[in-house]
Structure 1
Amino acid sequence: MLYSALGAIMTMSAVFRITILLSTLLLLGKIPAAAAQEGPLVLAFYYAWFDQNTWTSGQSVDLPAEPYNSADRAVIERQVGQAQSAGIDAFVQSWYGPQEGGNQTETNFRTLLDVAGARGFKAAVDLEVTSPFLGSIPTVTDALAKLLATHAQHPAYLRYQGKPVIFFWRQQQFSVEQWTAIRDQVDPNRATIWIAEGTELAYQAIFDGHHLYSIAWAASPADQLAKWASRVRAYAAENGFNRLWVATVMPGYDDTRLPRADAFAVPRRNGEYYRETWQGAIASSPNMVIINSFNEWPEGSHLEPSASYGNLYLDLTRELVTALRGSPPPAPAAATSPTAEPVATPTGPYITAEEGANIRSGPDTAYERIGQLAAGSPIAVIGKTSAGDWWQINFPRGSDARGWVNAEVVTFTGDAGAVPVVETPSPSEASLTGLTLQASATPTTTLETAGAAPTIKVPAGGVNLRSGPGLEFELLGRLDEGAEAVVVGQSETGEWWQIETNAVEAGLAWVANAVVDVSGDTAGVPVIEFDQPTATLTQTPTATVPPTPSITPTPTATEVIIAGTIEVTDPINVRAEPSTDGELLGGLYLGDKADVLAVSKDGDWWQIDFPAGPEGVGWVAAEFVRFQGDQQAVPIFGLGTVTPTPRATNTPTRTPTPDRLPTLAELPTLAPTATSIYQPTAAALLAERGTPDPALTIVPEEPRASFDWGDFPWGILSLVVIAAFLWYQFYWRRRGLS
């Protein structure tokens, strides 16, 4: 019996020691793994639309230490150097799309990439889905395709795990299904990383990561960051995804100088708020940290050196990054010449375009144009035609992720004999769709297509007719909903169609591709070269009003005729007159509606029912709203309309206007201006909705069915084992030996 008792004691002791050892290893085993991980990327939101008007607008609670113009290359170089010295890895710049005219987010981003490339820095875009140039599925699809074909190929474009990173603002404009179709078209092989924002995790079905943009609405930023990190990971795990969590850090927030009904401020507390949000972000174990922001001055979330705080927040960022990574950030790299060779050059044969080159789906100009090669960026060559007149490259949007570039417009480097010949069907054998944007010095007059010429059809709201392919050209008139016209030419960029129409005296006019529906085979539509106009949009075009024998005067206040309504497609100002010089009365947000009372002579402005304005009316730019109703019945302001049909009652039913009346800067050329506030940010929207503490229905808070050893209560088990051992040692053992 003694030997049995001793054996039992030895067995229990061994079990106890093994249990304690295993518990310790399991608890401590997580520490080396976390410590071994490379620290998360540190990014910062960056805005590129400021000028001297910003600093005199009175809409910022603070001012930069050195007021500047965002288009100044020297300013961008200074800002990149400041960010590098603080340990920031990349800027994420708000981007309105690839359009060049009146869009400095495009032109300034190009400069940012060049400066970043020269200094060893990185940059990515935050694609604003509801920007003045985008907002529809075709325009967003085209913007993404061009982004992937140009900027994303730049050596300085931000990559994560080898893939270009794209942030999105207001992806809620489209459904998950619509985004799936967009991505299948522009990124079928998922060769990029898409980061969504907001509080709707359902978009993680097609996006690759999530961020909140703002955390200023939270009473406890650390708690909310932890909750949202858990929600993102839980949703991903339950659906079999691998998703990224991007945690937001903010130095403070103050938009009280902006005319927002829901404006609020979060005190900085001399940097303590910044430290708290940073610590909360790091504690949530993010894949990336994003600072909101480097220079969002109107919302008071900047860390750029300022008149009020000097370099405090750059210094704090450097301190926090040093603690995160264990060493201070390296000194910023010295700027190299802007014409220096790209830092990433393929090891094998490659091509380079001096001024950009079209990428096509096949080795012929009759094939669809699917993108454009960025100027100065080397691209590896993977194939060629038997004649050696076309090079094949890797391209995500192409068939089988391939594309073709004409050898005549690029420079080849390497051994051409080592490049394999790739056999492809001729254009006549292939099924070709889309645009053929072949450069042509002398446009032809006959389309190279079999069958009927392509046509455009005008959607709801009508479209403007211009004298040339761009918003800077003279406005000639409008086409109403349902009108059709034959396409006879296209711009070099493929963004405008030249059409035949009797609506203008010359019989030819231009319409934007983004706002019309095109049918028919557009392959072979000739390119029409056009010089830039000498006049600008500041000149008011003369409206041509056809004579009519019976004109009804413009209705008075007592006999309002409402011929339709407008729905706001992008937040916009309401003015007292149909001009950007008119007095600013307030604004309308995305989705707001108002009754239409009249249209300006040039068709560019709608007079609407606006209770906050003089006599209860105001004016909005037609290009930022969608018209619904009978355009023919809308009176022309100052002239009236032909026999309009009034409502049964002379007292109109007015659509209530929201109490919130943001002052939104006007866009004479659709350019983001110094005081551009197109819509409330995520911070303002979340403050309006309230803190999203309740668990989302798509992310159950109850324990998941799948078991995780990391959730096992090893500490409690260890205590139970110790208690059992002591009980056995001092009670049961003595009882057995007595």
Structure 2
Amino acid sequence: MARLRRKACVALFLFTLFVFGTLMGLRTLKPTEGFSDLAPGLEFMPIIGGKLDRRSASSDTAVSQGHPRIGGDLKAAAVSNSGQDKGIFYDVHIFYYMWYGNPQLDGKYLHWDHVLVPHWDPKIAASYPTGKHSPPEDIGSSFYPELGPYSSRDPEVLESHMEQIEAAGAGVVVVSWYPPGMSDDNGEPTEDIVQAILEAAHRHGLKVAFHIQPYLGRSDHSVHENVKYIIDRYGDHGAFYRFSTNAGTVLPLFYIYDSYLTPPEAWAELLSSTGAHSLRGTPYDALFMALIVEERHKHDILAAGFDGMYTYFASNGFSFGSSHQNWKAVKAFCDGNNLLFVPSVGPGYIDTSIRPWNNHNTRNRINGRYYETALQAALSVRPEVVSITSFNEWHEGTQIERAVPKKTVTRLYLDYQPHTPDLYLELTRRWAEQFNKEKEQWLM
């Protein structure tokens, strides 16, 4: 009898251990409580970077010179074609990075050789390696691209990227943008690549929007000049993204990354109709999307005169804005104040190849389940637009671009197995189609 009791205890222990292990494996499907400590003072990652339907307006569409704040005309917008006839959905936006380089086209590796970013606390930093990556075998990513460490200037790479994005059904490519002559800390200027991206996007029926990065000296005044530059230079291109409503408003849309770094009262000089150098009601009027990180930012965004907010980060629980559990409240706030809410979803998150101390913010992909959980959370709040983080932010492991298994003497890269390299493109298409089917029901 004692032997039977011992066997029963052992069996119970093993079962308990199995259940605990399973729960730990799935923990990333649920939002974590509180706010993470990725960086002090909310200066996150400066290194890197439903009631209506959207449709891109072609280059010959008349551009509205006025700008009513997001209100009844947008909220009552009727179902438009959104490119469904081509299988492209312009209410699905995807963040895109053009900062990669290699010796063949750029004379050296750019971004693939990313530095190992030290922790801001010297005591913690001392416990982690320093230096930089050494491509092509050792790159600044936990995954390895099917195209290898490519150059963003390579026409064949751009063609492949737009082909993949078209296959995924995402209609708007949101390029990470720096003004001419400027770049992030780990790259070189890339503004001259934009024209080639527009051309490649146009061949695949895609549109291009701009994600203005927090470059040195960015202010409301400099963003005024940035918007004028972008619209003057690219506004007539067939791939330049605008959206329209059934009230006839047709405007470009700009995402402003780390918008909280500039005070709301400064933004108001640019974005309110009474601002000292307002864009409202001018040929350079647009919709401006601010990044929401902390809960208090939603009030700052409203006071600043922004037209809406997006969450960007793909690590559920990393910030208030990126936590799925908060999206319903944020959407309600936006609806109550005639703002757009654009939740950002991602397939997972791992940036330990460049921030080796940041393992606590890793979110396991779980063979696509993490992505699908995020997409379901986004659709549940009935957003007007969904954004995807990202197509190719390899440093942070948020890419849906094709990745392949890779093992070197010193590295074993993650991959999408047992699925094919197309897994996340296929999931994106499936959910883009579902999003638009559900939206038709919301609008009925």
Pick the TM interval, shorter chain. 0.5 to 0.7
3-state DSSP class of the match of 1:253? coil
CA–CA separation in structure 2 for the residues paired with 1:83 and 1:139: 31
Match of 1:249 in 2: 345
3-state DSSP class of the match of 1:109? helix
Among candidates 303, 314, 324, match of residue 435 of structure 2: 324
Among candidates 178, 188, 202, match of residue 280 of structure 2: 188
Higher mean C-alpha deviation, range 285-294 or range 202-211: 202-211
Match of 1:114 in 2: 199
Describe how 1:71-220 pairs up with structure 2 within 5 A. Answer: 71-99=153-181, 104-128=189-213, 130-132=214-216, 134-161=217-244, 162-183=250-271, 184=275, 185=277, 187-189=279-281, 191-199=285-293, 200-201=297-298, 202-205=300-303, 206-218=305-317
CA displacement at 1:233 relative to structure 2: 3.3
CA displacement at 1:229 relative to structure 2: 4.1
Q: Which runs of 5+ in 1 are unaligned?
A: 1-29, 328-738
* 1:627-680 C-alpha deviation (Å, 9 max, x unpaired): xxxxxxxxxxxxxxxxxxxxxxxxxxxxxxxxxxxxxxxxxxxxxxxxxxxxxx
Describe how 1:254-653 pairs up with structure 2 within 5 A. Answer: 254-259=350-355, 261-263=357-359, 264-307=361-404, 308-309=415-416, 310-326=421-437
CA displacement at 1:166 relative to structure 2: 0.3
TM-score for the superposition, normalised by structure 1: 0.37
* 1:188-246 C-alpha deviation (Å, 9 max, x unpaired): 21731101112311213311011111141329999943533433432552xxx411110
Instruction: Give the conservation status (yes or no) of the 8 Å contact 2:166–2:204.
Output: no
Match of 1:63 in 2: 144
CA–CA separation in structure 1 for the residues paired with 2:196 and 2:182: 13
CA displacement at 1:280 relative to structure 2: 0.7
CA displacement at 1:131 relative to structure 2: 1.6
* 1:370-405 C-alpha deviation (Å, 9 max, x unpaired): xxxxxxxxxxxxxxxxxxxxxxxxxxxxxxxxxxxx
CA–CA separation in structure 1 for the residues paired with 2:311 and 2:229: 26
Cα distance change on mapping 1:266 and 1:91 into 2, 3 Å: same
Cα distance change on mapping 1:197 and 1:281 into 2, 3 Å: same
CA–CA separation in structure 1 for the residues paired with 2:436 and 2:330: 26
CA displacement at 1:175 relative to structure 2: 1.0
Instruction: Give the conservation status (yes or no) of the 8 Å contact 1:167–1:196.
Output: yes
CA–CA separation in structure 1 for the residues paired with 2:221 and 2:308: 24
Describe how 1:220-231 pairs up with structure 2 within 5 A. Answer: 224-225=323-324, 227-231=326-330
Larger-gyration structure (1/2): 1
CA–CA separation in structure 1 for the residues paired with 2:322 and 2:194: 35
CA displacement at 1:260 relative to structure 2: 5.2
- Matched residue type, 1:113: L
TM-score for the superposition, normalised by structure 2: 0.59
3-state DSSP class of the match of 1:179? helix
Higher mean C-alpha deviation, range 289-298 or range 180-189: 180-189
3-state DSSP class of the match of 2:401? coil
Cα distance change on mapping 1:139 and 1:325 into 2, 3 Å: closer
CA displacement at 1:65 relative to structure 2: 0.6
CA–CA separation in structure 1 for the residues paired with 2:289 and 2:162: 23
Identity of aligned residues (%): 28
- Between structures 1 and 2, the one with greater helix share: 2
- Between structures 1 and 2, the one with greater strand share: 1
* 1:518-546 C-alpha deviation (Å, 9 max, x unpaired): xxxxxxxxxxxxxxxxxxxxxxxxxxxxx
CA–CA separation in structure 2 for the residues paired with 1:66 and 1:245: 34
CA–CA separation in structure 1 for the residues paired with 2:321 and 2:365: 16
CA RMSD of aligned residues (A): 3.1
